[in-house]
Amino acid sequence: MNLNSEFRQDLVSGDWVIISPKRFKRQNQFKEKTKRKIVSKKGCPFENPQETGHTNPSVVYPNLENWTIQVIQNKFPIVSHEENVCVREAKRGPFSVKEGAGHHDVVITKDHYKNFAHLDGKTANLVFKAFKQRYLQLSKDKCLKYVFIFHNWGPKAGASIFHPHYQIISLPIIPPDVGRSLRGSAEYAKKHKTCVHCEMMRYELKEKKRIVYENKEAVVFAPFVAREPFELRIFPKKQFSYFEKTPDDVMKYVVEALQKALLKIEKKLSDPDYNFFIHTAPLDNNGKYKHYHWHIEILPKFSTSAGVELGTGIEVTVVDPEVAAKILR
Protein backbone atom coordinates (compact mmCIF):
# COMPACT_ATOMS: atom_id res chain seq x y z
CA MET A 1 0.00 0.00 0.00
CA ASN A 2 1.46 3.35 -1.05
CA LEU A 3 -0.24 5.80 1.30
CA ASN A 4 0.39 9.40 1.99
CA SER A 5 0.24 10.13 5.71
CA GLU A 6 -3.06 9.17 7.30
CA PHE A 7 -4.59 9.91 10.70
CA ARG A 8 -6.22 6.87 12.31
CA GLN A 9 -8.27 6.90 15.50
CA ASP A 10 -8.10 4.05 17.98
CA LEU A 11 -11.53 2.50 18.61
CA VAL A 12 -10.82 1.93 22.30
CA SER A 13 -8.89 4.94 23.56
CA GLY A 14 -10.04 7.49 21.02
CA ASP A 15 -6.38 8.50 20.54
CA TRP A 16 -5.15 9.46 17.09
CA VAL A 17 -1.97 8.13 15.49
CA ILE A 18 -0.28 9.12 12.24
CA ILE A 19 0.64 6.38 9.77
CA SER A 20 3.42 7.94 7.70
CA PRO A 21 4.78 5.17 5.41
CA LYS A 22 6.72 7.53 3.13
CA ARG A 23 9.19 7.82 6.01
CA PHE A 24 9.75 4.04 5.71
CA LYS A 25 12.73 4.18 3.35
CA ARG A 26 13.81 0.57 3.27
CA GLN A 27 13.14 -2.70 5.06
CA ASN A 28 16.71 -2.89 6.41
CA GLN A 29 15.96 0.28 8.35
CA PHE A 30 14.04 -1.97 10.74
CA LYS A 31 16.51 -4.77 11.11
CA GLU A 32 18.67 -4.87 14.20
CA LYS A 33 22.17 -3.81 13.20
CA THR A 34 24.02 -5.11 16.24
CA LYS A 35 24.28 -8.80 16.98
CA ARG A 36 22.82 -9.71 20.34
CA LYS A 37 25.47 -9.99 23.05
CA ILE A 38 25.25 -13.37 24.74
CA VAL A 39 26.15 -13.01 28.41
CA SER A 40 27.77 -15.95 30.20
CA LYS A 41 26.07 -17.82 33.03
CA LYS A 42 28.98 -16.90 35.28
CA GLY A 43 27.84 -14.48 37.92
CA CYS A 44 24.22 -14.58 36.77
CA PRO A 45 21.95 -13.99 39.80
CA PHE A 46 19.17 -16.13 38.30
CA GLU A 47 21.18 -19.33 37.85
CA ASN A 48 20.73 -20.21 41.53
CA PRO A 49 18.39 -17.53 42.90
CA GLN A 50 18.34 -18.63 46.52
CA GLU A 51 22.15 -18.76 46.62
CA THR A 52 22.28 -15.14 45.47
CA GLY A 53 20.03 -13.88 48.24
CA HIS A 54 16.59 -14.18 46.68
CA THR A 55 13.56 -15.31 48.66
CA ASN A 56 12.10 -18.78 48.42
CA PRO A 57 9.62 -18.89 45.55
CA SER A 58 5.90 -18.26 45.91
CA VAL A 59 5.43 -20.57 42.90
CA VAL A 60 7.84 -23.27 41.72
CA TYR A 61 7.68 -26.09 39.13
CA PRO A 62 8.23 -28.94 39.75
CA ASN A 63 10.07 -28.38 43.06
CA LEU A 64 12.81 -26.19 44.50
CA GLU A 65 15.50 -28.86 44.21
CA ASN A 66 14.93 -29.51 40.49
CA TRP A 67 13.17 -26.33 39.45
CA THR A 68 12.27 -25.38 35.91
CA ILE A 69 10.33 -22.22 36.77
CA GLN A 70 10.15 -20.20 39.94
CA VAL A 71 8.45 -16.97 40.99
CA ILE A 72 10.43 -14.88 43.46
CA GLN A 73 10.33 -11.37 44.88
CA ASN A 74 12.22 -8.76 42.90
CA LYS A 75 15.25 -7.63 44.94
CA PHE A 76 14.86 -4.12 43.54
CA PRO A 77 11.09 -3.65 43.47
CA ILE A 78 9.22 -0.73 41.94
CA VAL A 79 6.66 -1.12 44.74
CA SER A 80 7.39 -2.47 48.22
CA HIS A 81 6.43 -6.01 49.13
CA GLU A 82 3.36 -5.70 51.32
CA GLU A 83 0.92 -8.41 52.32
CA ASN A 84 -1.82 -5.89 52.89
CA VAL A 85 -1.76 -2.91 50.55
CA CYS A 86 -4.89 -1.12 51.80
CA VAL A 87 -3.07 2.17 52.02
CA ARG A 88 -5.02 5.36 52.41
CA GLU A 89 -4.83 8.20 49.98
CA ALA A 90 -3.48 11.38 51.51
CA LYS A 91 -3.11 14.98 50.44
CA ARG A 92 0.15 16.83 50.05
CA GLY A 93 -0.83 20.34 49.19
CA PRO A 94 -3.09 20.00 46.12
CA PHE A 95 -1.68 16.56 45.27
CA SER A 96 -3.02 13.08 46.08
CA VAL A 97 -0.43 10.55 47.27
CA LYS A 98 -0.34 6.91 48.40
CA GLU A 99 2.42 4.80 49.90
CA GLY A 100 4.17 2.75 47.20
CA ALA A 101 2.83 -0.57 48.45
CA GLY A 102 2.24 -3.63 46.29
CA HIS A 103 4.08 -6.69 45.02
CA HIS A 104 6.84 -6.98 42.42
CA ASP A 105 7.71 -10.54 41.39
CA VAL A 106 10.14 -12.07 38.92
CA VAL A 107 9.34 -15.27 36.99
CA ILE A 108 12.53 -17.12 36.07
CA THR A 109 12.97 -20.00 33.64
CA LYS A 110 15.91 -22.35 34.20
CA ASP A 111 17.60 -22.23 30.79
CA HIS A 112 19.95 -19.25 30.66
CA TYR A 113 19.98 -19.12 26.85
CA LYS A 114 16.36 -19.77 25.83
CA ASN A 115 13.98 -16.83 25.69
CA PHE A 116 10.23 -17.38 25.41
CA ALA A 117 10.26 -17.94 21.66
CA HIS A 118 12.70 -20.85 22.02
CA LEU A 119 11.20 -22.67 25.00
CA ASP A 120 9.72 -26.09 24.31
CA GLY A 121 5.93 -26.06 24.30
CA LYS A 122 5.61 -27.70 27.72
CA THR A 123 7.84 -25.12 29.42
CA ALA A 124 6.21 -22.19 27.61
CA ASN A 125 2.83 -23.32 28.91
CA LEU A 126 4.29 -23.75 32.39
CA VAL A 127 5.37 -20.09 32.31
CA PHE A 128 1.77 -19.07 31.71
CA LYS A 129 0.62 -21.53 34.37
CA ALA A 130 3.01 -19.81 36.80
CA PHE A 131 1.62 -16.40 35.75
CA LYS A 132 -1.89 -17.65 36.45
CA GLN A 133 -1.04 -19.29 39.79
CA ARG A 134 0.68 -16.18 41.11
CA TYR A 135 -2.16 -14.04 39.75
CA LEU A 136 -4.68 -16.11 41.71
CA GLN A 137 -2.57 -15.86 44.87
CA LEU A 138 -2.46 -12.08 44.55
CA SER A 139 -6.18 -11.84 43.79
CA LYS A 140 -6.94 -12.92 47.37
CA ASP A 141 -5.65 -9.54 48.56
CA LYS A 142 -8.81 -7.41 48.38
CA CYS A 143 -6.74 -4.25 48.52
CA LEU A 144 -5.10 -4.89 45.16
CA LYS A 145 -6.73 -3.45 42.06
CA TYR A 146 -4.55 -4.59 39.17
CA VAL A 147 -1.94 -7.21 38.26
CA PHE A 148 0.36 -6.43 35.34
CA ILE A 149 2.43 -9.17 33.67
CA PHE A 150 5.20 -8.26 31.24
CA HIS A 151 8.50 -9.28 29.68
CA ASN A 152 11.48 -7.12 28.70
CA TRP A 153 13.84 -8.79 26.22
CA GLY A 154 17.13 -7.01 25.65
CA PRO A 155 18.72 -3.81 26.98
CA LYS A 156 16.72 -1.48 24.72
CA ALA A 157 13.55 -2.97 26.20
CA GLY A 158 14.75 -2.40 29.77
CA ALA A 159 16.20 -5.81 30.62
CA SER A 160 19.22 -5.34 32.87
CA ILE A 161 19.88 -9.11 33.18
CA PHE A 162 20.38 -11.38 30.15
CA HIS A 163 18.86 -14.50 31.73
CA PRO A 164 15.24 -14.70 30.45
CA HIS A 165 12.77 -13.56 33.08
CA TYR A 166 9.30 -12.07 33.31
CA GLN A 167 7.77 -9.69 35.81
CA ILE A 168 4.49 -9.40 37.70
CA ILE A 169 3.59 -6.12 39.38
CA SER A 170 0.44 -5.86 41.49
CA LEU A 171 -0.90 -2.45 42.40
CA PRO A 172 -3.49 -0.80 44.66
CA ILE A 173 -4.54 1.39 41.72
CA ILE A 174 -5.71 0.82 38.14
CA PRO A 175 -2.98 2.13 35.79
CA PRO A 176 -4.03 5.13 33.68
CA ASP A 177 -3.54 3.43 30.30
CA VAL A 178 -5.59 0.45 31.47
CA GLY A 179 -8.25 2.80 32.84
CA ARG A 180 -8.60 4.53 29.47
CA SER A 181 -8.87 1.16 27.73
CA LEU A 182 -11.56 0.00 30.14
CA ARG A 183 -13.59 3.18 29.74
CA GLY A 184 -13.27 3.10 25.97
CA SER A 185 -14.33 -0.54 25.68
CA ALA A 186 -17.26 0.07 28.07
CA GLU A 187 -18.47 3.07 26.06
CA TYR A 188 -18.19 1.13 22.79
CA ALA A 189 -20.12 -1.81 24.22
CA LYS A 190 -22.86 0.51 25.50
CA LYS A 191 -23.18 2.24 22.13
CA HIS A 192 -22.75 -0.71 19.76
CA LYS A 193 -23.82 -3.68 21.92
CA THR A 194 -20.62 -5.58 21.14
CA CYS A 195 -17.05 -6.02 22.37
CA VAL A 196 -14.78 -3.45 20.70
CA HIS A 197 -11.83 -5.84 20.60
CA CYS A 198 -14.01 -8.52 19.01
CA GLU A 199 -15.10 -5.95 16.43
CA MET A 200 -11.46 -5.17 15.58
CA MET A 201 -10.61 -8.86 15.43
CA ARG A 202 -13.57 -9.63 13.14
CA TYR A 203 -12.44 -6.86 10.80
CA GLU A 204 -8.87 -8.16 10.70
CA LEU A 205 -9.99 -11.76 10.09
CA LYS A 206 -12.29 -10.59 7.29
CA GLU A 207 -9.67 -8.40 5.57
CA LYS A 208 -6.75 -10.84 6.11
CA LYS A 209 -4.30 -8.05 5.22
CA ARG A 210 -2.76 -7.60 8.66
CA ILE A 211 -2.98 -11.17 9.97
CA VAL A 212 0.44 -12.56 10.87
CA TYR A 213 -0.60 -15.91 12.34
CA GLU A 214 -3.70 -17.72 13.53
CA ASN A 215 -4.62 -21.08 14.96
CA LYS A 216 -7.80 -22.67 16.28
CA GLU A 217 -8.19 -20.40 19.31
CA ALA A 218 -5.93 -17.36 18.80
CA VAL A 219 -4.99 -14.75 16.23
CA VAL A 220 -1.95 -12.48 15.79
CA PHE A 221 -2.28 -9.28 13.79
CA ALA A 222 -0.66 -5.91 13.21
CA PRO A 223 -3.31 -3.48 14.46
CA PHE A 224 -4.84 -1.04 11.95
CA VAL A 225 -4.08 1.78 14.40
CA ALA A 226 -0.48 0.84 15.23
CA ARG A 227 1.51 3.00 17.65
CA GLU A 228 4.88 1.47 16.80
CA PRO A 229 6.50 -0.20 13.77
CA PHE A 230 5.76 -3.94 13.76
CA GLU A 231 3.52 -3.74 16.82
CA LEU A 232 1.53 -6.97 17.18
CA ARG A 233 -1.50 -8.01 19.21
CA ILE A 234 -2.58 -11.50 20.16
CA PHE A 235 -6.19 -12.26 21.07
CA PRO A 236 -7.96 -15.44 22.08
CA LYS A 237 -10.71 -15.72 19.46
CA LYS A 238 -13.35 -16.22 22.14
CA GLN A 239 -13.97 -13.29 24.44
CA PHE A 240 -12.54 -13.72 27.92
CA SER A 241 -12.36 -10.60 30.08
CA TYR A 242 -10.03 -12.12 32.64
CA PHE A 243 -6.67 -13.67 31.83
CA GLU A 244 -6.82 -15.84 34.94
CA LYS A 245 -10.21 -17.34 33.98
CA THR A 246 -9.13 -18.45 30.51
CA PRO A 247 -9.40 -22.26 30.13
CA ASP A 248 -6.14 -24.16 29.73
CA ASP A 249 -7.24 -25.65 26.39
CA VAL A 250 -7.57 -22.10 25.03
CA MET A 251 -4.46 -20.73 26.72
CA LYS A 252 -2.19 -23.28 25.05
CA TYR A 253 -3.15 -21.85 21.66
CA VAL A 254 -2.48 -18.30 22.88
CA VAL A 255 0.95 -19.44 24.09
CA GLU A 256 1.65 -21.07 20.72
CA ALA A 257 0.61 -17.88 18.92
CA LEU A 258 2.90 -15.79 21.13
CA GLN A 259 5.87 -18.06 20.43
CA LYS A 260 5.20 -18.02 16.68
CA ALA A 261 4.92 -14.22 16.67
CA LEU A 262 8.18 -13.75 18.58
CA LEU A 263 10.02 -16.17 16.30
CA LYS A 264 8.80 -14.23 13.25
CA ILE A 265 10.03 -10.96 14.77
CA GLU A 266 13.40 -12.54 15.57
CA LYS A 267 13.91 -14.05 12.11
CA LYS A 268 12.44 -11.35 9.89
CA LEU A 269 13.81 -8.35 11.80
CA SER A 270 17.21 -9.73 12.86
CA ASP A 271 16.45 -10.34 16.53
CA PRO A 272 15.45 -6.92 17.91
CA ASP A 273 14.79 -6.21 21.57
CA TYR A 274 11.12 -6.12 22.48
CA ASN A 275 8.53 -5.92 25.24
CA PHE A 276 5.41 -8.01 25.52
CA PHE A 277 2.73 -7.53 28.11
CA ILE A 278 -0.67 -8.86 29.08
CA HIS A 279 -3.65 -6.51 29.19
CA THR A 280 -6.43 -7.99 31.28
CA ALA A 281 -9.40 -6.75 33.27
CA PRO A 282 -8.74 -5.59 36.85
CA LEU A 283 -9.12 -7.77 39.92
CA ASP A 284 -12.89 -7.71 40.01
CA ASN A 285 -15.21 -10.72 40.05
CA ASN A 286 -18.60 -9.05 39.95
CA GLY A 287 -18.84 -8.90 36.16
CA LYS A 288 -18.15 -5.17 35.94
CA TYR A 289 -15.64 -5.70 33.15
CA LYS A 290 -17.43 -8.31 31.06
CA HIS A 291 -17.18 -5.93 28.08
CA TYR A 292 -13.37 -6.33 28.06
CA HIS A 293 -11.29 -8.82 26.03
CA TRP A 294 -7.85 -9.63 27.43
CA HIS A 295 -4.93 -9.78 25.02
CA ILE A 296 -1.15 -9.62 24.60
CA GLU A 297 0.74 -6.77 22.96
CA ILE A 298 4.25 -7.05 21.49
CA LEU A 299 6.33 -3.92 20.85
CA PRO A 300 9.70 -4.36 19.10
CA LYS A 301 12.14 -1.61 20.04
CA PHE A 302 12.89 0.40 16.93
CA SER A 303 11.49 3.89 17.28
CA THR A 304 12.30 6.69 19.70
CA SER A 305 9.72 9.23 20.77
CA ALA A 306 10.70 12.71 19.61
CA GLY A 307 9.16 16.17 19.34
CA VAL A 308 5.84 15.22 17.76
CA GLU A 309 5.17 12.26 20.05
CA LEU A 310 6.36 13.96 23.24
CA GLY A 311 4.84 17.35 22.50
CA THR A 312 1.43 16.26 21.17
CA GLY A 313 0.88 12.71 22.45
CA ILE A 314 0.30 11.61 18.83
CA GLU A 315 2.35 8.55 17.91
CA VAL A 316 3.88 8.51 14.43
CA THR A 317 4.24 5.06 12.84
CA VAL A 318 6.37 4.88 9.71
CA VAL A 319 5.53 1.31 8.71
CA ASP A 320 2.02 0.68 7.46
CA PRO A 321 0.59 -2.25 9.48
CA GLU A 322 -0.34 -4.07 6.27
CA VAL A 323 3.28 -3.90 5.12
CA ALA A 324 4.50 -4.95 8.57
CA ALA A 325 2.27 -8.03 8.53
CA LYS A 326 3.41 -8.96 5.02
CA ILE A 327 7.07 -8.74 6.06
CA LEU A 328 6.51 -10.83 9.19
CA ARG A 329 4.42 -13.49 7.46
Residue-wise pLDDT for 86-135, tens only, equals: 767 889 999 988 888 899 999 999 999 999 999 999 999 999 999 999 99
Q: What is the pTM of this model?
A: 0.92
Provide the residue type at 244 as one letter. Answer: E
- The pLDDT, as a whole number, for residue 1 is 47
- The pLDDT, as a whole number, for residue 241 is 95
Residues of the chain below pLDDT 70: 1-3, 23-33, 82-85, 87, 285, 305-306, 308-310, 312-313
Please state, in angstroms and rounded to a whole number, the distance separating the CA atoms of residues 101 and 171. 7
What secondary structure does DSSP assign to 67-113, as a single string? -SEEEEE-SS-SSEE-S---PPPEEETTEEE---EEEEEEEEES-TT
Cβ of 273: how many Cβ atoms within 10 Å?
A: 18
- The pLDDT, as a whole number, for residue 245 is 94
Please state, in angstroms and rounded to a whole number, the distance separating the CA atoms of residues 184 and 9. 12
Instruction: Provide the H-helix boundaries in 99-175.
Output: 121-139
Residue-wise pLDDT for 5-49, tens only, equals: 899 999 998 889 989 887 665 555 566 667 889 999 999 999 999
Instruction: For domain 6-28+50-79+100-328, give the fold.
Output: HIT family, subunit A (3.30.428)
